[in-house]
Structure formats: structure tokens, C-alpha cells
Structure 1
Amino acid sequence: MTGGPWDTVPGCGRHCARHALPPVPAVTTALRGAAFAATVRRALADGGHLADPARLRDRARALLAALGIRLDGGGPLRAPSTGPGTLIVANHISWLDIPALLAVEPVPVLAKREVGTWPVAGGLARRAGTHFIDRASPRQLPQVVGELTEILASGRSVAVFPQATTWCTADGGVFRRATFQAALDAGAPVRPVTLTYTQGALPSTVAAFCGPDSFLASLRRVLAARGLAVRVTAHPALPPGRCRDRRELAALARSAVLAAPHPDTPVRPNAPAHHGG
């Protein structure tokens, strides 16, 4: 279903997801698959305890490590504050964006309703405290903005993907403005974050999850990816009161996300993870 307040038809499809380096041997792919399955079983066994921030960060890092993905960059993503929480806004490339963010800053994430129905990822998302929205329902818009405002006003932070859908590169799509209204209403800072994927020293789209792609097909590509790394680049927070309206706030956040360093720029590693290839 299309046509909702968050619904976007991307210019990307499954053809955009490509390996930048030759895939790893089949035996490595199999070993990663086994490690991934074991990590998922441990996380699912946590039940509601998975939402505990320390446990959630550990499980997210373990999930990336099992897939052979290195995590670069780091946080904190929440702005220092004794008042409202932080609205963390990031570009959206892959389902891997969520564990990458949680591995740095374990906060609730706003995701499309369909994620909750995915095999494996859906169960993990629900246990991790993810908030789901129906992108095709205009009637949900005021309710979701109100709920986000309450979360932020209470001092809790939340991560959102304002591009509304996934793109194979960070600069795809516009930033939808609705969630920025919650930050304005709560007087909360906004932290722009850029997610980028590389293989070796090369920019890579192998993690992209676009168009009619399926979770299992994407997982198979990721399991076979050689030298895959995800970088989480946190930009200076946009303080409350800096912008007149949500249009200006969304534009400033998008500009910050697009101004991220080139993938070849070295950064301080945040959490080591084995490559497996």
C-alpha cells in the first residue's frame, strides 16, 4: 500500500545492492550464518530483557560481529542534557542500520510496521522496544508525533529514519518533516547521524535493502560480503530553538548528514568485530 504520510517510492531497487569486493568463500559464509543464528537465539531468549540498554548494545555488537561486519565511528549520540531526550535522525540504507545505531547508542527506534513481520529481525525489533508505524495511514500522523513528543519530553531519546524508506547511498531522498515537529514541541535537540558502508577502502552498496528485496536475500548477500564495515558518524546536535519550524530543522539535519566525511577518511574504531574474510 502506498500514499501514506511517510510512504516513499525510492529510485533504488535490488539491482543497486552490489559487492565491491569478491565474496568470501562458501565455508566462511556458512560459518557466519551459524554464528548469526546462534546470536539471534541468544537475543530472542532474552525476551523483554533485551530492551535493557546495556544488554541491547552488547547484543547489537555481537550481531554485527557474527556477520563479519566491523563497526567504525561511535557516540554518544544523545546530546548532553538534563531535560528532554534527543531526536536521533539518520539516513536509511539497510536493515543493518538499526543494529549499527543500537551498537553505539541503545535507544528505541521508530520503524515501519512491516519490520515487525520480518523473520528473525521482526522478533528482535519487538523485543528491543521498537516503535512501529503504519506508513500508509495518514490518521496515524498526529498520534505518532504526539507519542514521540511525550517520549522526548520525558527525557528519553529515540532514533528515526526521516527518509521514510531505504536508499542505496546516504544522499538519496528527502527528509520527511513530521518527526521533527516532535522535537520542536518537546524542546529537544536533534542529532544528525550518517551511516555509510564500505568494503575494504571502497564504498559499497552490498548492504542496501531496496525495492522488492527480501530480508533473506539481503542476509545472504551480507553473509558473503568481504571486509564489510559500517561507519556511524555523529554530527553536532542541533539545539532546540535554533530553527523557526520543522521545515528548516529537517533541512539543516539533512545537510549535516550529507556533509559526512568520505568513506576513505580514517575514524576511531568504536567496537572491534571480526571480519571472517
Structure 2
Amino acid sequence: MSAWLPSAPCTPGACVERCRDVAAVPRAVLRLAAVAVLLLVGIAIVLSPLGPGRPRSRGRIPAALVRHWCRWIVRAFGVRVRMTGAAAPAGGLLLVAHHVSWLDIPLLAAVRPARMLAKSEIRRWPVAGPPAARAGVLFIERDRLRALPDTVAAISRALREGAAVAAFPEGSTWCGRARGSYRRAVFQAALDAGVPVQPVRIRYRTAEREVSTAPAFVGEDTLLASLWRVATARGVTAEVEVRPVVPPGRHRDRRSLAEAAQQAAAAPGVPVLRHGHRRKAPSKSMCAL
């Protein structure tokens, strides 16, 4: 693992609070069962002749159906979804958002179906790998700096072909009480392709309108623990705000473009902190925020 790979200081023990209001076990189990059914239906469609990976089939699955399916996935967990802002434009588009949870992925796809960036290890996963590859996921080798130019070129090529590409430029998940700074490489792809950038602001709230850390998937948290925490939480709302698009040509370099997108996607009052590195022990300073 290279030292440049970013990681957040957030940890489950320091940042993720216990939910005051939790769902009963039977209800949580029903939620997870509903999610499993929706995932199986989605995988079946992706692997079917209508799937995006079949010859001459790209685009057959209606975008509206994909958006609704993504919202259903989040709703099946018991999380309400509130979406505001204008619709994302058609054509090549880079979608970016701060990263808190695996829930961010279907929420971003609910804004506009897009090719997601994912670590290369997922391609080899026995269950998730083949459907992810068929769905058009762009796999990146995050721990190999030498692979970065090829990654930027692949993203730029997808953007030129008119696809939307979704990315979380922080490179790591944060708890939601603070954010990391955006890495700039993915914005070079948008510059090279001459496409707009669509910042999206994603926030998780409790019923009392406070920041909810229940969906946070940080540090050494396990996926099973995170899934159960979300399924048992009550009163969580995902607020998705589609911010004004940053048109091509407004920023000449990736640094200024990344800063503009970061400022647009950041929630008011949430500080942006510098990343640590995975070789360093995670800090617990965030628990006081």
C-alpha cells in the first residue's frame, strides 16, 4: 500500500454514534430481505440480454428505471430520500460528491445513472465482480501511482463517449461531521474531455435534523456491521442536493476545478480537513466535532 493513498481519521469508535431510536430486529431483518431482493433483481437485469455489457445493448435499460431502483435500494433500508436541485444534464458528465457511506453510490446514481469508479480488487470478487464489470464500472488501481495516467485516460475516454462518470474525489470515507479535500486527478479527465462537472451534496440527517453518523462506513468498520447499523436505524433521511453544474472552460487547471467542485458540494458548517495516510494511526480528534 503506497503512502500517497488517502485515508480519513474517522473511526467507528470515535465518530459513529449509537442511534437513540432503533428499529426492532424483525423489522431490520425485513429491510435487509427487501434489499436482497432488489439487488438480485438488479443483478439479473445487468446479466440479462438487456444488460449494458451485451453487444449493442448499452442504453436499453431506461435511465428512469435505474434512478428509481437506486432510490428503492436506499428506501428499503428505511432511509428516507429527499432530492432537490435541477436534473443533471445529458452527455458526458463528471458527477462528484463527498463520501460518507456505501449509500452514497445508489444516491449518486439516482441523480443520473453513471459509470462508477471502484478499486480494482472488486473485479475479482466472486459475486460482485462480474455484475460490476458488466455494468460498466471503471476499475482503478488506487495503490499504484504509475497507473494513474492510464486511469485518467480511461475516464476521459468514457466522458468523451457521452457517459456520466461518478467519483468520490476524497478517496476515502468520512463520518459526515468533517470532510476531506478533493484529489485532483479525476478532474484532469474532465478537463481533457471538455465536459462539465456536476457537484452533488449528500447529507444524512436524524429526525431532529442533526448530522446522522449511522450510515458512515469508516475506518475498520465491517460491511456487515454497517449494514445492520443502517437497517436498525430509525428516522434517518438522506438529503441529496444537485448543485449548479461547473461548465467546461471555466477553470483552466485541475486544481481550481477541484476546489470549485469541493466548495459547491461541501455542506455549510462542515470543516474540510487534510487527509492522513494509511500508514499513520487514525486520529480520534474528530469525535469532538
TM superposition score normalised by structure 1: 0.84
The one of 229, 242, 245 aligned to 1:237: 245
Counterpart mapping for 1:1-277 below 5 A? 1-4=1-4, 7-15=5-13, 16-48=15-47, 49=50, 51=52, 52=61, 53-74=63-84, 78-79=88-89, 85-116=92-123, 125-169=132-176, 171-200=178-207, 201-259=209-267
Q: In the superposition, relative to structure 1, how do residues 71 and 175 fare at CA in structure 2: closer, same or farther (>3 Å)?
A: same
Q: In the superposition, relative to structure 1, how do residues 60 and 259 fare at CA in structure 2: closer, same or farther (>3 Å)?
A: closer
Q: In the superposition, relative to structure 1, how do residues 30 and 134 fare at CA in structure 2: closer, same or farther (>3 Å)?
A: same
Please give the root-mean-square deviation of Cα atoms over the aligned residues, in Å.
Answer: 2.4
Deviation at residue 178 of structure 1 after TM alignment:
0.3
Deviation at residue 126 of structure 1 after TM alignment:
4.0
Deviation at residue 224 of structure 1 after TM alignment:
0.4
Deviation at residue 2 of structure 1 after TM alignment:
3.4
Deviation at residue 121 of structure 1 after TM alignment:
5.9
- The SS at the match of 1:109 is strand
Residue by residue, what CA displacement relative to the aligned partner does 1:1-46 show, whole Å, maximum 9, x if unpaired? Answer: 2335xx2121111222224432111121121122122222222222
Work out the number of aligned pairs and report it.
257
Q: Give the whole-Å Cα distance in 2 for the aligned partners of 1:236 and 1:204.
A: 25
Structure 1 residues not aligned, in runs of 5+: 263-277
Name segments (4+ residues, structure 1) moved above 4 Å.
74-77, 114-124, 259-262
Residue by residue, what CA displacement relative to the aligned partner does 1:89-115 show, whole Å, maximum 9, x if unpaired? Answer: 110001110011112311111122345
Q: Give the whole-Å Cα distance in 1 for the aligned partners of 2:261 and 2:124.
A: 30
Q: In the superposition, relative to structure 1, how do residues 77 and 8 fare at CA in structure 2: closer, same or farther (>3 Å)?
A: farther
- Equivalent residue letter for 2:219: G
The more displaced of 183-192 and 68-77 is: 68-77
- Equivalent residue letter for 1:163: E
- Equivalent residue letter for 1:3: A
Deviation at residue 87 of structure 1 after TM alignment:
0.9
- Equivalent residue letter for 1:25: A
Answer yes or no: is the 8 Å Cα contact 1:92–1:170 preserved in 2.
no
In the alignment, what sits opposite 1:272?
A: none
- Equivalent residue letter for 1:68: G
Q: In the superposition, relative to structure 1, how do residues 157 and 206 fare at CA in structure 2: closer, same or farther (>3 Å)?
A: same
Q: Give the whole-Å Cα distance in 1 for the aligned partners of 2:130 and 2:102.
A: 13
Q: Give the whole-Å Cα distance in 2 for the aligned partners of 1:217 and 1:164.
A: 21
Deviation at residue 202 of structure 1 after TM alignment:
2.4
